[in-house]
Chain A
Amino acid sequence: MRLRTPIQGSRLARRPSESGAFALVAPAIALLIGFLVIPFLLAIGLSLTNQRLVSPLPLRYVGLDNYERILADPRFWHALANNVTFAVIVPTAQTVLGLGLALMVNQQLRGISIFRTIYFAPVVMVLAVVSVVWRLLFAQSGMINAGIGAVTGGSFQPNWLHDPTLAFPAVMIMSIWQNVGFPMILLLAGLQAIPGELYEAARVDGANGRQIFVHITLPGLRNTLIFVLTISMITSFQLFDQPYVMTGGGPQDATTTLMLLMVQVGFAEQRIGQASAIAFVFFVLVLALAVIARRFGPRMTEES
């Protein structure tokens, strides 16, 4: 409860500021309603219809037909499996490797900031660009196979992006490389926020390097680690650019994702109703992850 004299409240602050405030928020409200709220509600509504992008047929309510059709489509299960695999492996690998990199660039060495910059550089690169570059690296006669050949003697020379079992791992390797600098930079900030006295006290008590890492460094980074993991998991469901450019979702749908499938169904096949159903399923997944992260994230930290 704010205490205000009636005169102040009504004349001095309210009247002129109300219209001024409206002028300031109106553009944002109008754009958010037009390009976020209405399309979002429309996605739910359209997913219950036979809407097509261009169609001579009249619009018809079809109940949950679109959802049934998606669930019966093997491409959907392929896509979902890929998204889940990606969401488990890539954020985990990125966080573990990012922690390693953060420890490396946290050393007191001359020129260390140059290495920090280099490790972070791929994060600012355009995904479509790094995807085409890695397509070249993953070519059968490319640099990655040359490297593998040099180490193994040349027995394992796969055609990465044309092999259904290796194409998606290739997409994941590239994605880990591209964004590992993101957890690195956050974890570096986390490392530097751990008070130096804790380390000194541990050393005085005779703790070795491993004990210090397990009992001081890791607990100190707990919040950052959880934040990095959950945010990368949530964004990983948006996976589109890398498979679109590297493989186009192939071979044999081996690298398809929910977003690739949605564009395929809604744009290429022009089935707006069914694509809206995919969009809604995607949203529910993202929302569920966000809710889980919010519920369990802070609690885990409170226990410690």
Chain B
Amino acid sequence: MAMGRSRRRIWALAVRYGLLLVVAAVFVVPLLVMFVGSVKPDLDVLAESNSLKAFRPSQIENNYADAFATSQFGRLLVNSLIVSGSVVVLGTFVNSMAGYALAWVPFKGRRLLLGVVVALVIVPFQAVAIPLLLIASKVQIVDTYVIQILPFIASPFFIYLFYSFFLGLPRELFEASRIDGAGVVRAYTSIALPLIKPAIATSAILSFLAIWGGLFWPVMVTRSVEVRPVTVGLSQVAGTLPTHWGDIMAMSVAISAPILIVFLVFQPAFIRSIASSGLKG
């Protein structure tokens, strides 16, 4: 009797883990194909993709060297890093400053401004992209870093995120600083900023993911390799015949690896951040 029960328990456990593993394969396999493909000769990637050889290269080729040499991939990585880094750093300051003032500094029109910010959350960037393209071409900043950075610094969503985070902090902190005679700006830098690290992490993670992976806007406003981001470079190489699958997979790994590593290290912060947003569909 006791034997039968423990054996049944082991079976039930095996079934549970079996199911978990099968589902895990669905998510891992495409990523594995990418990693293995990045070190295979171009032709093998497609030819071997319908058998188990897809996971075991029969020949090794360094597509990374190839991608960096022929499509100036290193340059594209630098471009993406400059643009995403600028948006993250500038956005953190601009949005948290506004959120702080809306939450804790009394000034005329604060209610109105808060209402406007909340209303603007619903306007997707895509709805304003076409007029922005026209403006950019009129003032001749198409094909620059600037046009890839400026539109994404101020974000109603992140302002609201910081605003609600500040509201959750004890009021006394800010009142004490006012009595101290510390200026509003100094209170922001010395008291507010150090207290909102979780909100800064959230906005930094979300905006980095959005800009690093962004394709829609750079497709329209970048032309030359000097400013073009990795996503546009990848889609161009992927759209060129004959398809260099090995190079494509090497580029894919180079684009994803940094994000995957940071994700694995800071997993709780990552998951919390994405859960607090809509992100992509």
Residues of A within 8 A of B (CB): 12-14, 16-18, 20-25, 27-29, 31-32, 34-40, 42-43, 46, 51, 53-54, 86, 90-91, 101, 104-105, 107, 109, 112, 115, 117-130, 132-137, 139, 141-143, 145-146, 175, 177, 179, 182, 185-186, 189, 231-232, 234-241, 244-245, 248, 259, 262-263, 266-267, 272, 275-276, 278-280, 282-283, 286-287, 290
Q: How many Å lie between the Cα of A25 and that of B95 in the bound state? A: 8
Check A126–B212 contact: CB distance below 8 A: yes
Interface string of B90-101 (1 = CB under 8 A from A): 000111011011
Task: Tell me which of A17, A25, A126, A146 contacts B259 (CB under 8 A).
Answer: A126
Please tell me if B106 contacts chain A, counting CB pairs below 8 Å.
Answer: yes
Asked whether B27 lies within 8 Å of A127 as measured between CB atoms, the reply is no
With known contacts A39-B132, A132-B238, A179-B281, A143–B123 Cβ distance under 8 A: no
State in angstroms the CA–CA spacing of A29 and B97 once bound together.
11
Interface, chain B (partner A; CB < 8 A):
13, 16-17, 19-20, 23-24, 26-31, 33-34, 37, 45-47, 49-51, 54, 93-95, 97-98, 100-102, 105-108, 110, 113, 117, 120, 122-124, 126-135, 137, 150-151, 153-154, 156, 159, 178, 183-185, 188, 209, 212-213, 215-216, 219-220, 231, 234-235, 238-239, 245, 248-249, 252, 255-256, 259-260, 263-264, 267, 270-271, 274-275, 278-281
**Which one of A27, A235, A263 lies within 8 Å of B97 (CB-CB)?**
A27
A-B contact pairs, 6 of them (CB 8 A): A25-B102, A43-B127, A128-B231, A129-B34, A146-B49, A286-B127
Does the CB pair A279–B128 fall under 8 Å?
A: yes
**Residues in A neighbouring B132, C-beta threshold 8 A:** 35, 39
Given contacts A146-B51, A244-B215, contact A115 B235 (CB under 8 A): no
Residue of A nearest to B100 (CB): A24
- Set of chain A residues within 8 Å of B122, measured between Cβ atoms: 286-287, 290
A53 neighbours in B (Cβ, 8 Å): 133-134, 137
Residue with the greatest number of chain B CB neighbours at <10 A, chosen from A31, A146, A179: A31
Task: Check if A115 sits within 8 Å of B178, measured CB to CB.
Answer: no
Q: Are A282 and B23 in contact (CB under 8 A)?
A: no
Contact call B16/A143, Cβ cutoff below 8 A? no
A177 to B31, CA, bound (A): 12
Q: Of A22, A28, A101, A109, which is within 8 A of B154 by CB? A: A28
The 9 closest A-B CB pairs, nearest first, are: A20-B184, A31-B154, A146-B50, A28-B98, A39-B128, A126-B213, A21-B107, A42-B131, A236-B281
Are the C-beta atoms of A248 and B239 separated by less than 8 Å? yes
Name the residue among A51, A118, A137 with the largest chain B CB count within 10 angstroms: A118
